[in-house]
């Protein structure tokens, strides 16, 4: 099957100054949780994107000097020649497949922590650290500005020497250069402050000096915000941005455009849909003849074509879609649209970097494992035997295990107790705002339908005897987990109600089953992610008063790592959901919920008729234990594993990973005592 001619425009080459991109697919700079600490891991991940057809592939932000240090958030660096050698691993890998490599030069200012380097950061003034650390920046004097320009130029030369084709001046996202541009942040009274021309001066100098440094070997790009401040979604507040842009429009070779509100630019699918930046972009192409790239969590090739044809952008910029499917361009080119793993906008990738670990992906379990495990998103070792595999449960883990085993060539039997595949994925996707999560199920179900060696049995609950009767060679139990009614007090699970009152205590499973409470309801969030907020929203939509209680200081605390916590709380308040943080649930008598202050303050009571407990889940492992109760593992006629939530309840990404790992390791020799390679300096080896 060949490419649909409608998409030909996406595969046109585009000139970027002295270099040419082979197509319009542009992986913009994005964090990876890898940075300078994991150069081989980083290079292998970017290489797969080049194999998958991305025309331009950029690194994450590159610190130009140790006084711009963001640890524990991993970043790349261009401090010295060792960085040049490390980056060459990536650029060589990208060039091998005909793609361009881009490097984003970065100085954080008040947005960098410098907890590693312990050097004072610099900014337009002595400003508090914007990440909340108890430090302030040094106000830059003229020598500091000269130093910055020198460091930036040297980093540009190193980027050129490392083989990069596009070098960025990074003038947005609240970092130093953007603070010079900002009319309220920049309070300087010298030639770098005050008037618009003065505030643009440093950006102009850095663009010109970067172009001079890299010569005709590299293109120079500028990352720039189309609007000045955060307003209502889709309603830009431009301020002086157009005037700034007009003053600089012809200087760089490419403009990489984003917006002031990162929670829209990097928005989760619950609140932000595809192509959300278009309302901010309408004027950009009319002001410059230079190519423009922007993002929008693009997954539909029709949307991509529309963006280009209507002059919104020249390149299809992507971070998350390139993570979910590194082969997205190639699949469009080959006419394999049903094989695209569409990004679900969960931001688990972003959360991983926020935590300080290599990024993960719900849709793509190979992300971050390309080097240390040798996993490839499209290539998997063929089967090692003619064994038959039975997978019990078609939730996230079961579906991915069946899909990957099917690709390997095994004969797979997938048994699902209900009529619908997907398990928790299908159930959660029906909750408010969660519809795009269904892509996890849809992608895998579509792939399974096309595999003659995989048989799917719906409405097929199995017993121990049933499993034994199948006579499979391998059995994986993927029967998921069930939400608990109890409260976890950091030591054990304890009930919050007794007797008949328990009928007024609900769980997310009850809500997803359609068993909705009647009357005022308290939703207790001991989970800290998205579930409590979507349950509260669903109950509120039925017209009932809802109070959300959490022992954390903030609503959906873990969701701060996915960039959605602020949006969740704002949304709940707009819906009229009362929020009580720093409270633990002590007891519920059917009419009153008694709450303890987590800091030892006075208890409070809330009159409610129902409680929904969003705390923890209990593995549905009865079938697994039943098999082991029938005979010892050595006597079973098949290998037995439990995978996914049945093994250890976690997020959907973890279940997908568990299913994929099971499929990869089946019939393979795995040393459980040495499970991983380490991408680190080996002090016993010579430097490479």
Q: How far apart are CA 126 and CA 141, in angstroms?
A: 11
Neighbour count for residue 230 (Cβ, 10 Å) = 14
- The one-character DSSP state at 78 is -
8 Å CB contact between 279 and 307: no
Q: Give strand pairing partners of 476.
A: 391, 641
Q: How far apart are CA 661 and CA 664, in angstroms?
A: 5
Residue 321's H or E segment, with its range, is helix 320-324
Q: How far apart are CA 643 and CA 521, in angstroms?
A: 34
Integer Rg of the chain from CA: 27
Residues 6 or more apart whose CB falls under 8 angstroms from that of 218 comprise: 17, 18, 19, 159, 160, 164, 165, 166, 167
Neighbour count for residue 394 (Cβ, 10 Å) = 32
Q: How far apart are CA 559 and CA 569, in angstroms?
A: 10
Q: How far apart are CA 654 and CA 644, in angstroms?
A: 7
Q: Are strands 14-16 and 19-21 parallel, antiparallel or unpaired?
A: antiparallel
The residues assigned a catalytic role are 175
Residue 286's H or E segment, with its range, is helix 284-287
Residues 6 or more apart whose CB falls under 8 angstroms from that of 645 comprise: 395, 396, 397, 424, 480, 481, 617, 619, 620, 655
SS3 for 291-309, per residue? CEEECCCCCCHHHHHHHHH
8 Å CB contact between 94 and 88: no
8 Å CB contact between 625 and 479: no
């Amino acid at each position: 099957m060949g490419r649909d001619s409608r998409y030909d425009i996406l595969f046109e080459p585009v000139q970027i100054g002295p270099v040419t991109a082979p197509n319009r697919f542009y992986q913009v700079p994005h964090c990876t949780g890898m940075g300078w600490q994991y150069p081989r891991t980083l290079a292998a991940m970017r290489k797969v994107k080049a194999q998958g057809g991305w025309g331009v592939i950029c690194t994450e932000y590159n610190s130009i000097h140790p006084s711009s240090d963001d640890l524990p958030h991993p970043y790349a660096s261009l401090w010295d020649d060792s960085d040049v050698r490390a980056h060459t691993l990536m650029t060589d890998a990208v060039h091998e497949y005909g793609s361009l490599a881009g490097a984003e030069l970065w100085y954080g200012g008040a947005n960098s922590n410098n907890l590693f380097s312990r050097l004072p950061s610099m900014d337009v003034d002595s400003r508090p650290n914007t990440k909340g650390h108890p430090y302030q920046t040094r106000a830059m004097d003229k020598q500091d500005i000269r130093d910055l320009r020198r460091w930036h130029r040297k980093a540009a030369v190193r980027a050129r020497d490392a083989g990069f084709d596009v070098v960025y001046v990074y003038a947005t996202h609240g970092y130093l250069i953007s603070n010079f541009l900002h009319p309220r942040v920049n309070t300087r009274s010298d030639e770098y402050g005050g008037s618009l021309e003065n505030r643009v001066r440093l950006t102009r100098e850095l663009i010109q000096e970067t172009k001079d440094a890299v010569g005709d070997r590299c293109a120079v790009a500028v990352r720039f915000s189309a609007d000045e401040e955060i307003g209502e979604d889709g309603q830009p507040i431009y301020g002086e941005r157009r005037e700034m842009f007009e003053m600089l429009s012809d200087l760089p070779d490419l403009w990489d455009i984003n917006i002031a509100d990162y929670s829209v630019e990097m928005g989760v699918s619950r609140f932000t849909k595809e192509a959300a930046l278009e309302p901010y972009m309408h004027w950009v192409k009319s002001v410059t003849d230079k190519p423009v790239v922007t993002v929008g969590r693009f997954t539909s090739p029709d949307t991509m074509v529309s963006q280009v044809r209507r002059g919104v952008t020249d390149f299809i910029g992507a971070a998350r879609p390139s993570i979910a499917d590194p082969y997205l361009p190639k699949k469009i080119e080959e006419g394999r649209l049903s094989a695209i793993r569409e990004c679900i906008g969960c931001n688990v990738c972003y959360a991983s970097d926020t935590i300080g670990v290599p990024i993960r992906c719900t849709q793509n379990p190979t992300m971050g494992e390309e080097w240390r495990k040798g996993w490839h998103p499209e290539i998997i070792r063929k089967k090692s035997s003619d064994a038959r595999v039975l997978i019990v449960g078609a939730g996230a883990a079961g579906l991915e295990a069946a899909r990957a085993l099917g690709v390997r060539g095994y004969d797979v039997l997938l048994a699902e107790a209900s009529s619908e595949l997907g398990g928790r994925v299908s159930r959660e996707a029906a909750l408010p705002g969660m519809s795009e999560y269904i892509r996890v199920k849809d992608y895998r179900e579509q792939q399974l339908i096309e595999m003659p060696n995989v048989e799917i049995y719906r409405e097929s609950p199995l017993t121990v005897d049933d499993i034994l009767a199948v006579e499979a060679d391998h059995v994986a139990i993927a029967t998921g987990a069930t939400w608990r009614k109890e409260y976890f007090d950091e030591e054990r699970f304890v009930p919050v109600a007794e007797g008949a009152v328990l009928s007024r205590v609900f769980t997310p499973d009850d809500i997803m089953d359609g068993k909705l409470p009647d009357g005022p309801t308290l939703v207790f969030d001991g989970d800290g992610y998205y579930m409590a907020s979507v349950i509260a929203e669903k109950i509120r939509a039925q017209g009932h008063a809802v109070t959300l209680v959490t022992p954390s200081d903030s609503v959906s605390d873990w969701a701060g790592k996915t960039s959605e916590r602020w949006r969740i709380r704002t949304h709940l308040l707009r819906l009229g959901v009362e929020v009580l943080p720093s409270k633990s649930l002590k007891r519920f008598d059917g009419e009153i919920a008694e709450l303890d202050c987590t800091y030892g303050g006075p208890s409070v009571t809330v009159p409610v008729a129902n409680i929904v407990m969003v705390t923890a889940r209990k593995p549905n492992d009865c079938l697994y234990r039943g098999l082991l109760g029938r005979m010892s593992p050595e006597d079973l006629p098949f290998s037995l594993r439990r995978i996914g939530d049945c093994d250890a309840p976690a997020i959907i990404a973890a279940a997908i990973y568990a299913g994929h790992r099971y499929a990869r390791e089946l019939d393979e020799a795995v040393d459980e005592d040495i499970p991983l390679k380490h991408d680190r300096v080996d002090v016993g080896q010579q430097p490479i």
